[in-house]
Amino acid sequence: MLSAEGVEDFKSKWQKNPMLRPRIEKVVVNCSVGKSGEPLEKAMKIIEEITGQKPCFRRAKKTIRDFGIRRKEPIACLVTLRGERALEFLKRALEAVDNKIPASSFDKFGNFSFGIREHIDIPGTRYSPDLGIIGMDVCVSLCRPGYRVKYRRRSRSRVGSKHRLTAEEAMAFLREEFGVEITEGRGK
């Protein structure tokens, strides 16, 4: 677990070298309905209202007869948010989970995910009886300045191991930037 002085160590390191300070690369909001048709359309409307961006749907990879899912049938929708929109949505989504994220939600590269049981938990969202209630997954990718070398077209190269983000740094960034409490165990 990361202590308060551990956060201060990271803060002083980030102030000395701004290229080490983490930032939010993207926030992906995923809602898996499990069937196409009207339930998926309702979920797409809800996600569009919450994020302010039009979602795209995802298709099933294989047929599962027990669940009534056919291959290539649309069963989920997702939105990728970047920049200011991602920051604004993430602040509201963290309030929906009481600004608490379990340490087990972080991977070794500093990315983290959490689930929201009901979309009406997000502040500023109103319940609509004709649309119903859905749950969603929120996946957040963190990066540092300089990660572009991994994605650029010309002279693509790897990000060095010393410049990669760690789970502890991501936890310190969340604690400092958003006031998130990192808990032990599996969450709620």
pLDDT of residue 1: 62
pLDDT tens per residue across span 47-97: 999 999 999 989 989 998 888 888 988 989 999 999 999 999 999 999 999
Structure tokens at 43: 């979920």
Structural domain count, the chain: 1
CATH code of residue 86: 3.30.1440.10
Q: Is residue 147 part of a domain?
A: yes
Q: Is residue 188 part of a domain?
A: no
Average of pLDDT values for 142-166? 91
pLDDT of residue 188: 54
Q: Are 135 and 30 in contact (CB under 8 A)?
A: no
Q: Where are the alpha helices (DSSP H) in the chain?
A: 4-16, 38-51, 83-96, 167-178
pLDDT of residue 184: 85
pLDDT greater than 90 at residue 112? yes
Which amino acid is residue 151, in one-letter code?
A: Y
Structure tokens at 12: 């002083």
Q: What is the DSSP letter of 2?
A: -
Domain that holds residue 61: 4-183
**pTM to 2 decimals?**
0.89
Q: Is residue 28 part of a domain?
A: yes
Query: What SS3 class is residue 188?
Result: coil
